[in-house]
Structure 1
Amino acid sequence: MPMNIANIKKRIVLTGGPGGGKTTALDLIRREFLGKIATVPEAATMIFSGGIERSTNDQILKTQQIAIFNLQKHLEDIQRTTFQNSIILCDRGSLDGLAYWPENDENFFTSMNTSIEEELLRYDAVIFFESAAKSGESIKSNNPIRNESEKAAIELDNKLKTIWSKHPNFNLIHSSESFINKVMFGIKTIEQVMDDYQKSAP
């Protein structure tokens, strides 16, 4: 039976609360591993920068998160199929939307027709950049769709950490770390995933 490329993991999630330096770090990491990794852009940014306005209406918010969830997974699978021999580095993952979901977790997974176990299995590792708001620093961003207050950033950071820390290869980078250390930690985590695959190769 032919192998379904979309089901091969070799995926790493780079996530965290707003203002953690994630997007800038991802760009530097991509340059470090030029030709060895393929990146997946953040689905939410693609949607909200394309003319869809963010909403606080629960029904609209749920519809938006369903769209983001599906786009995220499709983008990952496109890159997985296109770059079959590369590590796929994802700017956020399929479970990030759970932190924004206006109802309970069970309702989220029912609406998405999945489970937390199934979504965690999509990824080999999670690199979590804690929000700078946790250290009392500014979280101003060049991304216009990221307009959360420091308080909201901390709340989102806590929710996201609770979700993603369930992954067996969860790697937390505290906000107190220097940005260079954050990038180096991310690079080392990716190198470890690459090394694990090389060791398991036939």
Structure 2
Amino acid sequence: MTVPCPCTRVHAPRRIVVTGGPGAGKTALLELVRQSTCHHVRILAESAGVVFGGGFPREDDPVCRQSAQRAIDHVQCELEVIADTHHPAIVLCDRGTVDGVAYWPGPPAGFWSSLGTEARRELARYDAVIHLRTPPPGEGYDHSNPLRTESPSAAAEVDARILEAWADHPRRFVVEPSHRFLDKAARAIEILHAELPACCSHGPALGA
């Protein structure tokens, strides 16, 4: 479901990443956004979910983990290419290419060299980053996603690595955990709302 929008402009797409550690609430947030924005906001599937959900081996061996991260990066880039062709105002990415650093088994330099790119170039792919922090162990970590294999403590460690990976982005917004997820979601939606062009902001506030 999308909110009706009379705008027929051909937009220059701007990419915004929603990221965060496992159990941070990305899936729930993106569903709220999907129900409260117009068709000029294109929401991408999480590339890791596409890869692993499609049967790509998920093994703990370092070589296998490296192969998985290269596959995820390739899918992410191609999803963004497809999204751009539809000229939305916003391409909302469920994680971005930079997230791969947090899951790479080894130094970040190895991740970038393996892909033939560099951190600065990948950070520049995105206009803004919204980081939802993972709740501390025992305070709301969600195990419901069947593709989620991390323990609460491991999820917190991944969240910290993702926070570090995006640290140099000039427009990163960090949304801290809240006892009420709706408070956390409202803050993230407020940030996203500020990124929408005026022609797509004619309706009620997001999340209203």
Structure 1 residue corresponding to 2:154, chosen from 125, 148, 152 = 152
SS in 1 for 2:101: helix
Identity within the alignment, %: 37
Counterpart amino acid of residue 143 in structure 1: N
| CA deviation profile, 1:125-166 (whole Å, cap 9, x unmatched) | 11111112x263242333211020011001100000011122
Counterpart amino acid of residue 15 in structure 2: R
Counterpart amino acid of residue 126 in structure 2: Y
CA distance in 1, matches of 2:187, 2:54: 32
Asked whether 1:117 is paired with 2:120, we answer yes
Does the 8 A contact of 1:9 with 1:122 survive in 2? no
Structure 1 residue corresponding to 2:185, chosen from 183, 186, 195 = 183
Structure 1 residue corresponding to 2:176, chosen from 160, 174, 177 = 174
TM-score by length of 1: 0.87
Structure 1, unmatched stretches of 5+, are 1-7
| Partner residue in 2 for 1:48 | 52
CA distance in 2, matches of 1:159, 1:168: 18
Does the 8 A contact of 2:39 with 2:88 survive in 1? no
Asked whether 1:71 is paired with 2:79, we answer no
| Partner residue in 2 for 1:5 | none
Q: CA deviation at 1:177?
A: 5.5
TM-score by length of 2: 0.85
Structure 2 residue corresponding to 1:90, chosen from 89, 93, 109 = 93
Does the 8 A contact of 2:23 with 2:141 survive in 1? yes
CA distance in 1, matches of 2:52, 2:82: 21
CA distance in 1, matches of 2:57, 2:115: 22
| CA deviation profile, 1:3-48 (whole Å, cap 9, x unmatched) | xxxxx65010001011111111111012111323001100111111
CA distance in 1, matches of 2:18, 2:164: 15
| Partner residue in 2 for 1:3 | none
Counterpart amino acid of residue 29 in structure 2: A
* Structure (1/2) with the larger helix percentage: 1
How many residue pairs align between the two structures? Answer: 189
What is the aligned-residue RMSD (CA, Å)? 1.9
